Amino acid sequence: MAKHRISLKPGDFKKLHAKLKKLEVADPSLKIGNTLPSNFLIANAVADDQTDTPEIRTKRIILHIAGNFTTKPETMGDEIDLTINLLYRSDEYTLLQMRLDALVKEFKASASISSSEATGCSTVGDCTALVDEKIK
């Protein structure tokens, strides 16, 4: 399968994500494999954030999965509860696992994050601590 690269400005990415969410409400059967198109977009998006710390990148991943593209990750408190404030569905935790796993592999190829480790994260701080632990 051919791979293609599409570059979007942050505002356009947010608009595309919002439109996909509306399509999913209109037609819940709309899927790419077993994945909702908006989640597929998030899972396959690559932010140009290589110069940011792992903590900031982890927080950005969480925000993007939650559909929040405007909050600056450095303003996110570690005490924020994921299930109450950000991630509501199991597929969002699947995305969290996929994105955090890819992140830790950038720093340490042998590192990985399992589904149970990702779902074991209750707060934003749990996620950042997990990533830090894996890349040491």
**pLDDT given for residue 85 in this prediction:** 83
Q: What are the distances in angstroms from CA 104 to CA 6, 17, 101, 117?
A: 24, 25, 5, 13
**pLDDT given for residue 40 in this prediction:** 80
Spans of all domains in the chain: 8-45, 50-135
**pLDDT given for residue 79 in this prediction:** 96
> Which tens digit of pLDDT belongs to each residue from 81-124?
998 988 877 788 988 999 999 999 999 999 999 999 999 999 99
> Which tens digit of pLDDT belongs to each residue from 42-89?
767 766 677 899 999 999 999 988 888 788 999 999 999 998 988 877
**pLDDT given for residue 91 in this prediction:** 81
**pLDDT given for residue 1 in this prediction:** 58
**pLDDT given for residue 46 in this prediction:** 63
Judge whether 80 and 128 are in contact, CB under 8 Å: no
**pLDDT given for residue 2 in this prediction:** 63
Looking at the domain covering 50-135, what would its CATH class be?
Answer: mainly alpha
Q: Which long-range contacts (CB under 8 A, 24 or more apart) does 132-135 make?
A: 132/54, 132/55, 134/104, 134/108, 135/54, 135/104, 135/107, 135/108, 135/111
For 123, phi and psi rounded to 5 degrees?
-130, 170
Secondary structure percentages of the chain, helix, strand, coil, to 5:
60, 5, 40
